[in-house]
Structure formats: structure tokens, C-alpha cells
Amino acid sequence: MSHYRAELTGVFGDPVDDNPTGIVEEAAFAAMNLNYRYLTIKVLPEDLETAMSAVRAMNFRGINLTMPHKIRVLPMLDELSEAAGIIGAVNTVINQNGKLIGENTDGKGFTASLLKHGIRIEGANILVLGAGGAARAISVECALAGAGSLSIANRTEGKAEELAALIREKTKVNSAAFGWNPGLKIPENTDILINATSIGLMPDADSKPALDYSTVREDMTVADVVFNPSDTLFLKTAREHGAGTISGIGMLVQQAALNFTLWTGERAPVEVMYDTLKKEFEQ
């Protein structure tokens, strides 16, 4: 006899109405014939503690957290993964019989996307544009994956220096910071260039990070965290200079796939998830 109770997962955020993760996870649950649901839930900052109590009370298998909850949630959890502890932010919670474990799959989704494209992180010299939440998660995961060096460029140099210092202290990877000016030249030894800002995200699709694109080289990999549009002006311009590019859709899908596995214990149907997301953005 089938049982009627679905396992619950979802996302807490504010704003959260345009978060596409639900359609990707629901497609994956259906493809694997799992009785799971993913709910997109608006939770105001002052209600986060109540909402996290509800995760326990309603036996959710887990929950994603988006703005503005990723840092605020930390004291409400029982345990953190190594990466989440270093990054100081959580986007995925796993409920293990009432014990809430915080993980950060933002950077892991990014590194998984690079590896899927056959790009080696180990020993690579990486330049990250930006020093916000995405930059922090990506930089930490690249360092944990054995990057040769990490450079952080940010308009507020102090913020970049803070991130570089964190990486040096926690991962022992050589990390430097510098101010980001519009004529930024990409250092010659750069293997991977990453836009970890929201520049170019809809409805701002006709803008790109300000830098000297003539210093982008053919043997570089250029990656974007922006997933809508999937082929950003940043990536198009990099390709015009001969570089290989990787879109933000890969990161989003790999991150959703990691969530799926953490909650269900099953291998994620990555292709189904990728096709679902691509279709969503092509509408």
C-alpha cells in the first residue's frame, strides 16, 4: 500500500517569488518517482526562527535559504559543514531526525560545473570579480579544491582584502586582493576568470563587468554566476576574444543536484534538471 505523506523540502526567502529552484527540484523528484515536494515559501526576517522551528515540527527533510537568511540562520542550526563554517553562510539545511545541519552548496555547485566541463581547479590561478556572498562561497570552494592562487577584485578593496585574508588563514592558499577599476587588466597568468557579481542579470542584461577585455586570452576559461540570461554579454565578449566560457545555469543545476542528493540520498537526474531550467529561461 502506498503511503500518502510526501517528504517536504523548499526554500525560505524574502523576496522569493521568482526563485526557480522549485521547478528544477520538482522535475527531479518526478523523474526519480519520489514522493517529495518543494515549496517556495516567503519568510520575513523577523519570522525566520519560527520558520526554522517549523522545519523540525513539520518534519521537513530540508530547506534552502536565500536572501536575507543565509547568515541569520547560523545560530539556529546544530552543526555546520567545513565549507559553511568558513564561508559563514548557509544555503541548504538537512534535517537528520530533528538535528539541523547547515551546508553551503553555492560554491560546490560552481566547482562541480567546472569539473563537468573538464576544467581543472587544482593548481589553477583564479581571478574572482566581486567579494559578496557568491564570491565568498566560490573562492572558498576553489581554495578547498586545491587552486594554485586566488585573486579577488572588488570596487571596495577592503572587502576583497577581508575575503583574501580569510582564504589565506583557513585554506593556506595564496590569495591577493586589489581594487577593481573599469580598465582592469586580467593578470597574464590567469587560468580561470569568474564574474561573481550580479552584473548582467535580467533586467540588466545589456551590461557587463567593466574591464579591459583585450586582456582576455584564448587559453582562459571565463565563467559567470549569472544564469538569466544563460549567455550573458560578459560571456559573449569573452568568446569574441577566444576564451572558453561556462554559463551560470551549470552552477545553478549542479547546486540543485547537490541539494537533491543531500535530502534524498539518491543520485540526481542532472540532465532532466538542466533541460527544465533551460526551458524555463527560454520562454
Q: What pLDDT score was predicted for residue 202?
A: 86
Share the mean pLDDT of the chain. Answer: 95
pLDDT tens-place string over residues 111-159: 999 999 999 999 999 999 999 989 999 999 999 999 999 999 999 999 9
pTM of the model: 0.90
CA angle 121, 262, 85 (to 5 degrees): 60
What would the grid cell of residue 206 be?
545589456
Under the banding of pLDDT at 50, 70 and 90, the label for residue 283 is: low
Domain chopping of the chain, boundaries? 7-104+250-282, 107-246
Cell numbers 559567470 correspond to what residue?
224
CATH topology match: 7-104+250-282 vs 107-246: yes
- Residues of the chain with pLDDT > 90, as a percent, come to 90
Q: Residues 42-58: what's their mean pLDDT? A: 97
Q: Show Cβ contacts of residue 127 under 8 Å, excluding neighbours closer than 6 positions.
A: 151, 153, 186, 187, 190, 192, 193, 194
Using only C-alpha atoms, the chain has a radius of gyration, in whole angstroms, of 19
The type of residue at 279 is K
The CA distance from 112 to 119, in Å, is 10
Active-site residue, from 70, 116, 208, 278: 70
pLDDT at 246: 96
Active site residue 70: yes
**pLDDT at position 129:** 98
The DSSP secondary-structure symbol of 156 reads S
Domain 107-246 belongs to what topology? Rossmann fold (3.40.50)
Rounded Cα distance, 8 and 6, in Å: 6
Fold of 7-104+250-282: Rossmann fold (3.40.50)
Give 146-157 pLDDT, tens digit per residue.
999 999 999 999
Give dist(CA 188, CA 243) in Å, integer: 13
